[in-house]
Amino acid sequence: MTRVRKKDDSAEVRKVTWVGLAWNAALSIAKFVVGTLGNSQALVADAIHSASDFITDIAVIVGSHFWNSPPDAEHPYGHRRFETLITICIGIAVAVVGIGIGYNAVCNLIAGECKRPEFPVAIMALVSILVKEALFHYTRKAGKRIRSQALEANAWHHRSDAFSSIPVVVAVVTVIAIPELWFADAVGAIIVAFFILHSAKDIAWPGIHQVADRGASKEVSEKLKNIALSFPEVISIHGFRTRYVGNDLHVDLHIVVPADMTLLAAHDIAEDVEQKLIDCGENVVDALVHIDPYTPERAARGETKTITR
């Protein structure tokens, strides 16, 4: 028996992402112009990071049209893997940007091609920090509310952009205050690159785990088991399995009930267990409960041996 809770959060995902996209476009252009005119490769690097946010925003908007499609013959478990794949792609895109920025900064540092940045660069970086931190909280709040893996990944991308602007401010102020430290701006760009690479790992790694059919955490699994065991008619459970498809959790388990229970009564208990699992707040969208009758003979053979109260 199985019950599936259907949901469609694509409209909310697109609404939140469009807001981020607009700000990312404005910030990337502003930082690139100010960084170029103000002789700061660190701010130009930060502008490229914001531009990568713009690209990943588009990926999320496009992908949201696919991952909420209902199950079909070719995808009986739905299409939430699209969300996971897009999340991994976001991480890879961020990593590529970070490597490119770091390589360019190192080359300029070795060649001694570092110019003295102007004060407006620091002001632009401060504005970017404030805007990106606001976008982080806005996007993450929405991602947690609708349990969207892609939105939460995009939120942390905003946060990484905010963090990456901090060394820009420090580098620019340092060069302006101490001209002898002409290399500070290039060092700031390298630090930005490390921030970006760390962000890429945090974004992509959870998605990689999910592609490998990662199950629920120990805490969530124990909660789900206790829910099934909370029914007086359930003697024990076994065959408990979970796996994530995107951010949705699928649960399979066997419940052991008295052998003299009628088929109708056992069926009703199974449905009640399924519904309670789905309503538990852990984003369970599919619960499959198999019924096993309890007899001393089967228990002796170990066929009903597992978790009991």
Q: Which amino acid is at 162?
A: A
HEC profile of 253-271: EEEEEECCCCHHHHHHHHH
Q: Select from 282, 249, 254 the least CA-distant residue to 269.
A: 254
Whole-number Å distance between alpha carbons of 35 and 28:
10
The pTM assigned to this predicted structure is 0.58
Q: What letters, b where the CB count within 10 A reaches 16 and e where it falls short, cover 136-155?
A: bebbbebbeebbbbbbbbbb
Whole-number Å distance between alpha carbons of 268 and 281:
22
DSSP labels, 162-215:
HHHHHHHHHHHHHHHH-TT-TTHHHHHHHHHHHHHHHHHHHHHHHHHHHHTT--
Give residue-wise pLDDT tens across range 24-54. Answer: 889 889 989 998 888 887 788 778 777 777 7
* Span 115-144, average pLDDT: 87
CB 168 within 8 A of CB 46: yes
Please name each of the domains of the chain with its CATH number. 2-211 (1.20.1510.10), 218-308 (3.30.70.1350)
Residue 298 binned pLDDT confidence (cut-offs 50, 70, 90)? low
- Dihedral sign for Cα atoms in the order 254, 259, 261, 262: positive
Q: Select from 47, 51, 71, 176 the least CA-distant residue to 124.
A: 47
pLDDT higher than 90, residue 55? no
DSSP-derived secondary structure letter, 71 = P
